[in-house]
Structure 1
Amino acid sequence: MLVEDYMTTDLITFQKNQSIYAVMDLLTKHDISGGCVVNEQNELVGIISEGDCMKHISDSQYYNMPIEDYTVEKHMSCNVETIDGNMNVLDAAKKFIESKVRRFPIVKDGKLVGQISQRDVLKAAMNLQGQSWYV
């Protein structure tokens, strides 16, 4: 049971120059909590989350600034930990617990190829129902 067997490959991604408002629209429209930020070559440059957007909303209210004027680049997390698609999905579960993130991007040959979320790991565990955890 490898990460690549359970990762999502049809991703909603974002660009550094997109507005935070556009990100919030896509997050709510697609019922996701965040996504990868990529450049024109599909290389991972960051992650933007609901929490990043919430922080911007709070700051905008406090400083009385319009929400549409800010881009992803100013609010995304740049130091993104990735995991290998060949990692055992149960080892990925341990990484989720240790790091307290909700998603890990998977990069291959420098390009974003997928993402695994905590929910994906839960689905993998459900597929093991009644079986040994040692796979």
Structure 2
Amino acid sequence: MKAKDIMTSEVITVKKDTPIEDIAKILIEKRISGVVVVDDENKVVGVVSETDIVKKEKNIKVPSFITILQGVVFLDSIKEMEEDIKRVAAYKAEDIMSSDVLTVNEKDDLEYVANLMIEKSINRVPVVDDTKTLKGIICRYDIIKSMFSR
């Protein structure tokens, strides 16, 4: 069995400039846990999940520091604080989306897809064709359904 045999082909997508409030409404109304972010050519550029939206509300962690010889030495990462600030101030999908998205090809075997999802602890994986155009999505539910509906 191939990815194309079990994927959901009607994928709910958003663009990078979609407001986070609109994405939250989509997740609630459609009762889904994430959306694929695509560009104008329908290529996958990211994913926004419930976790990404919840992280947006995370408090900013100010780095601890000490002073040595009248200089400031930060004990925590300033970069981490900058990322926290970006998340809290996020307005659009591109501000909070995960951009290092794993995809599978529509010709990949179901076993490969299932193993990838388990190994990488991901709940959904976009399915693309040879040109990297979005064709569908596979969620863990789709795999379970395929296993028990034979």
TM-score higher than 0.5 = yes
How far apart are the structure 2 equivalents of 1:98 and 1:110? Answer: 22
* Runs of 4+ in structure 1 over 4 Å off: none
Q: Indicate whether 1:74 and 2:95 are aligned.
A: yes
Q: Indicate whether 1:111 and 2:111 are aligned.
A: no
Equivalent residue pairs, number: 123
Alpha carbon RMSD of aligned pairs, Å?
A: 1.9
Q: Which amino acid aligns with 2:54?
A: M
% identity of equivalent residues: 31
- CA offset digits 1:41-78 (Å, max 9, x no partner): 11111111000000113349xx9xxx896111110011
2:114 aligned residue? 93
Q: Which amino acid aligns with 1:111?
A: T
The secondary structure found in structure 2 opposite 1:35 is: strand
The answer to whether the 8 A contact 2:6-2:138 is kept is yes
How far apart are the structure 2 equivalents of 1:9 and 1:59? Answer: 37
Q: Which amino acid aligns with 1:78?
A: S
2:142 aligned residue? 120
**TM-score of the two chains, using structure 1 as the length reference:** 0.84
The answer to whether the 8 A contact 1:47-1:77 is kept is yes
Q: Indicate whether 1:57 and 2:57 are aligned.
A: yes
The secondary structure found in structure 2 opposite 1:125 is: helix
The answer to whether the 8 A contact 2:90-2:96 is kept is no
- Unpaired segments of 5 or more residues in structure 1? 129-135
Shift of 1:94: 1.2
Shift of 1:111: 1.1
